[in-house]
Chains A and B, each alone.
Chain A
Amino acid sequence: MAKAAESSGDPGTTSPRPLMRDLKAVGKKFMHVLYPRKSNTLLRDWDLWGPLILCVTLALMLQRSSVDSEKDGGPQFAEVFVIVWFGAVTITLNSKLLGGNISFFQSLCVLGYCILPLTVAMLVCRLVLLAEPGPINFMVRLFVVIVMFAWSIVASTAFLADSQPPNRKALAIYPVFLFYFVISWMILTFTPQ
Chain B
Amino acid sequence: MATPAAPAGGARSGAGPEWGGFEENIQGGGSAVIDMENMDDTSGSSFEDMGELHQRLREEEVDAEAAVAEEEDGEFLGMKGFKGQLSRQVADQMWQAGKRQASRAFSLYANIDILRPYFDVEPAQVRSRLLESMIPIKMVNFPQKIAGELYGPLMLVFTLVAILLHGMKTSDTIIREGTLMGTAIGTCFGYWLGVSSFIYFLAYLCNAQITMLQMLALLGYGLFGHCIVLFITYNIHLHALFFLFWLLVGGLSTLRMVAVLVSRTVGPTQRLLLCGTLAALHMVFLLYLHFAYHKVVEGILDTLEGPNIPPMQRVPRDIPAVLPAARLSATVLNATAKAVAVTLQSH
Contacts and interface: CB of A to CB of B under 8 A. Distances in A.
A47 B172 contact: no
B306 to A, nearest CB: 15
B313 A135 contact: yes
Contacts of B325: none
Interface of B: 34-36, 38, 40-47, 50, 53-54, 57, 112, 115-116, 118-123, 126, 151, 154-155, 158-159, 161-162, 165-166, 168-169, 172-176, 179-182, 310, 312-313, 315-316, 329-332, 334
Interface string A61-88: 0001001101111011001001100000
Interface stretch (A118-126, A145-153, A168-176): A168-176
Interface string A101-127: 101111000000000000000000000
A73 B123 contact: no
A9 B45 contact: yes
A134 B52 CA distance: 57
Range of interface residues on chain A? 35 or more
B181 to A, nearest CB: 6
B173 A73 contact: yes
Contacts of A133: 316
7 contacts: A8-B44, A79-B182, A93-B112, A168-B123, A178-B155, A182-B162, A189-B169
Interface of A: 1-2, 5, 8-12, 25, 43-47, 64, 67-68, 70-73, 75-76, 79, 82-83, 93-94, 96-99, 101, 103-106, 133-135, 138, 167-168, 170-171, 174-175, 178, 181-182, 185, 189, 191, 193
Contacts of A138: 310, 312-313
A25 B44 CA distance: 12
A46 to B, nearest CB: 6
B50 A8 contact: yes
Contacts of B161: 182
Given A11-B54, A82-B181, A94-B151, 4 more contacts: A47-B45, A71-B334, A103-B35, A178-B155
A8 B120 CA distance: 39
Contact of B54 (A5, A103, A170): A5
B40 A101 contact: yes
B50 A10 contact: yes
Contacts of B175: 72-73
A45 B41 CA distance: 9
A30 B300 CA distance: 48
A191 B176 contact: no
A99 B116 CA distance: 8
B158 A175 contact: yes
Contacts of A2: 57
B155 A175 contact: yes
B47 A11 contact: yes
B256 to A, nearest CB: 23
B112 A97 contact: yes
Contacts of A10: 50, 54
B168 to A, nearest CB: 8
B45 A94 contact: no
A101 B334 CA distance: 49
Given A9-B50, A96-B112, A135-B313, A171 B123 contact: yes
Contacts of A135: 310, 313
Contact of A181 (B162, B180, B181): B162
A94 B119 contact: yes
